[in-house]
Structure 1
Amino acid sequence: MEQEALGPLNPIRYQMKKHIVTTVDKYGYARLHEDIHYYSVPHIYIGKKVQLSYTATDVEIRYNYDIIAHHTRDRHNYRYTTVTEHLCPKHRAVMEWSPERFVEQVAAIHEDVEHYIRRVLEKTRYQDQANKMCSGILNFARKAGPERLAAACRLADSYGKYSFREIQDILQNKSEAIDLPEEPADMPEHENIRGKEYYK
């Protein structure tokens, strides 16, 4: 009797939804403790208590019952899911760091600075560390001027030292003004000059 009145089943399968309350950390992320995974929220909510409502596939983040962020659930531990627009300008700039961008920026400053930055990127083992060093060195172009920075990079390169601290020390001590020693000229050949073979 009731069969004709029955409608089709909902095509969206029902999912259990769980809810937790957490505080947005100073970087603009809310932690889903079950997965130990971090999801970004708009930076204006840093320090606020928010509600995470999550299913097997989705994570919604609410503040005062308003949805402020929505993410696909990721179960990888200690990872971050980020929407770039959520980040404050300072953190967004860090996210946009890349070796290609650093090389492009320093090429416009001076070829010696570009050479030095390339060496820093080659010799630094961890990319995050290299990014921070390159960013710090680039800031010296504004603080000390491009000519002083180029001279400091030439001096540090002559020592084979590639780090932010090296450039900082040179600029603080004003050692970049030191003239680099010229390459020694080749010893001319002469019958009275004994070579290293004489002493074997």
Structure 2
Amino acid sequence: MKHLVVYAHPKPESFNRAILETTTAVLKKNGHEVIVRDLYSLNFQPVLKPEDTAAMRSGHTPQDIKTEQEFITQADVITLIYPIWWTGLPAILKGYVDRVFSYGYAYSAGEEGIIKMLTGKQGFIINTHGTPQEIYDKIGMSNGLKITSDIGIFDFVGIEPVGHLLFGSIGFLDDESYYKGLLKEVEDKIDSLFPS
């Protein structure tokens, strides 16, 4: 399978980076083809500008958007790895969704309503956040995050959500075994979803 991993974290030494490295290593070990789009390294421009919309409507998609859309088109699986900031996506990733999952490419509308244009693909998400996981679970935030991204982004355009890992207390626990355990969870989940 062809996997596209879209990664959004600004710090090279972050735990998200360790998650990215684990994810790509397991996928490659299982014989999958992996492309990583590190949005910060790419200096991806996240702001959807009026000229972007006008260009796409006239059939002249800006090259940076077109490049990302080509990676999505070629992928069987799209994995998003990012931290939860202010209960949502980092701005750079939100802008990626705004600009790349565009009308006419990822979805359109007709008499029946929304037309999902990215069917046949699978979506997987791994998130980190500083709040303890049990608090997010208790107040409904974990479910809310899954609804807004799994359903609100992936399912909206026809991508089948197949898994979503949420890891809490990141950066606030100084227990190496805790982080190793989370990376093992990532490894096991990917092995079960995308075996060799």
Same-fold call, TM cutoff 0.5: no
What TM-score do you get using the length of structure 1 for normalisation? 0.19
What TM-score do you get using the length of structure 2 for normalisation? 0.20
Flag the structure with more relative contact order, 1 or 2, with Cα contacts below 8 A and sequence separation at least 6: 2
Give 1 or 2 for the bigger CA radius of gyration: 1
